[in-house]
Amino acid sequence: MFKKVILTIVMVTALFAASESSYPTHWKNFASVKTTLATIGALPGCDADVSTLPAIYQETVATYCAIKPGGPGAVEILVNAIAKKAYTKRNGKFPDGATMILHLKDLKVLFVTTYKNNKPLYSVYTENGQDAAGDVGSGLNPQDCRKCHTGYSAFCVNGQCASLK
């Protein structure tokens, strides 16, 4: 009985720290696009002055600046060809599958948004496919992604935050 409770706790913990969709094996075929963040080119460290940026960008820097000394570093935004139309139009109508990636190039990590029945699922993978989702509150848990990506309704449309520049 006791053992069963512990096993359940371990399983539930693992569930909460796991990515919500599978690794997009074909991510290298996604096209890089120009957005506000892609134009800046990197996520800075915690001492950067980001006071002129929109609040969602300030929160993004605050969430990730301490991940590594000096900040997460170089980034690019990748969009799957199947999602190019929805991404460009910002109409929130995404096809099933992995659609958009925030590629943390220096960290070799992929933040992946995947859609199922037009609902966004969030995942974190290393470039070579290891699930790198973290605990809730670490910034690397799907719940953390969802909180920010749905918390700025004036900014993000059905999971998509940026637009093309």
Residues at the contact surface with ligand HEC, assessed by CB under 6 A: 35-38, 56-57, 59-60, 63, 77, 100-102, 111-113, 122-124, 139-140, 144-145, 148-149, 160-162
Q: What is the dihedral angle through the alpha carbons of 161, 148, 62, 164, rounded to the nearest 10 degrees?
A: 0
Tell me the closest approach of the beta carbon of residue 1 to ligand HEC, in angstroms.
36
Alpha helices in 46-130 (DSSP H): 55-64, 84-89
Tell me the closest approach of the beta carbon of residue 89 to ligand HEC, in angstroms.
14
Tell me the closest approach of the beta carbon of residue 32 to ligand HEC, in angstroms.
11
CB closer to ligand HEC, 70 vs 136: 136
Q: Which of 123, 97, 126, 114 is nearest to 159 (CA)?
A: 114
Tell me the closest approach of the beta carbon of residue 5 to ligand HEC, in angstroms.
30
CB closer to ligand HEC, 59 vs 70: 59
Q: Are 126 and 105 in contact (CB under 8 A)?
A: no
The residue behind tokens 């996520």 is: 43
CB closer to ligand HEC, 65 vs 123: 123
Instruction: Calculate the alpha carbon distances from 23 to 45, 64, 147, 160 in Å.
Output: 28, 22, 22, 19
